[in-house]
Amino acid sequence: MDINQKYTPQSWPDHPETATMEGKNKFIGFWLLLAAETVTFATLFATYLALKDKGPSGMEFSAAGLFELPLVFAMTMILLTSSLTSVYAMYHMKNHNFKAMQAWLGITVLLGATFLGLEIYEFNHYLHLGFGFTNSAFSSAFYVLVGTHGAHVLFGLSWFIALMLRNAKRGLNMYNAPKFYLASLYWHFIDVVWVFIFTVVYLMGVIG
C-alpha cells in the first residue's frame, strides 16, 4: 500500500493522526518537544519574574506605567478564538472533509497574523516611548519572553501555511493527517503560553 492511498469518510480511521507507525512516532516526539518547550518558557518566565521592574537606578519605565490592557485584551481574544478555529479544522480533518479543514486553517492563520501584527505594533510603540531592549534588566527580560512567544506564533503561522500549500492538491491521506494534527497541537501550546503571559506579565504588571 502506498502513501497516496485514497480514503473516503467511511474508510477514514477514527484517529488518523496515530493510525500509522509514522504518525505514532511523530505524536510521541512532538509531545516530548512540547514538554521541553514548557521548560524553555519556564526559564524565561522565571527570568522575567526575578528581574521585573529591576534595572539601573533612575530607570524610567516600570510594568505598571507601561502596559495598557485594551490592546492586550484584544490580542488575548484573537489568539483564544484562533485556538477554537484550529479545533474546528481538526474536527473536519477527522470527518475527512479536506476543504472545510483548509478553510478553518485559513481563518486560524488570519487570526494568528492579526495577533502578530498587534504585537509588532505594541513593541514598536514601546520603542518609540524609549523602552528599548537594552534599557534595563526588566526590558531585556520582557522582550525576550514575549518576543520568544511571538517567534513561536510566526513559526506556527509559517508551518500552517506550508502545510496548506504543500497539500492543497493532495487532499487528506495517512501521510499528511499527522502533520496537520501536530501543527494544531503546536498552535494550542502557543495559546497555553499566552495565557500565562497575559496573566503574569500584563495583568500582574498593571497592578504593580
Partner 1 sequence: MAHDTHIHVRTQSEFEYAKKKRADEMKGHLATFAIMIFLTLIAFTMVAAGFSTYLIVPIILLMAGIQVILQLYYFMHLSGKGHGMVAFFLFCGIFVAFITVLALVTIVWW
- Residue 23 CB, shortest distance to partner 1, in Å, is 8
Q: What is the DSSP letter of 52?
A: T
Cβ distance to partner 1 smaller for residue 57 or 128: 57
CB 126 within 8 A of CB 66: yes
Query: Which residue from 152, 155, 150, 86 is spatially nearest to 118, judged by alpha carbons?
Result: 150
- Residue 20 CB, shortest distance to partner 1, in Å, is 5
Cβ distance to partner 1 smaller for residue 49 or 162: 49
- Residue 93 CB, shortest distance to partner 1, in Å, is 10
Where does this chain bind partner 1 (CB under 8 A)?
A: 1-3, 5, 7-11, 13-15, 18-22, 25, 27-28, 31-32, 34-39, 41-43, 45-47, 49-51, 54, 69, 73, 76-77, 80, 83-84, 87-88, 91, 94-95, 137, 174-175, 185, 188-189, 191-192, 195-196, 198-200, 203-204, 206-208
Cβ distance to partner 1 smaller for residue 3 or 120: 3
Instruction: Extract the C-alpha cell encoding 111.
Output: 487570526
Cβ distance to partner 1 smaller for residue 64 or 127: 64
- Residue 54 CB, shortest distance to partner 1, in Å, is 5
What is the Cα Rg of the chain in Å? Answer: 20
CB atoms within 10 A of CB 95: 13
* CB-neighbour burial class of residue 207 (10 A; exposed 0-12, middle 13-18, buried 19+): exposed
Instruction: Extract the C-alpha cell encoding 191.
Output: 495559546
- Residue 121 CB, shortest distance to partner 1, in Å, is 19
CB 149 within 8 A of CB 49: no
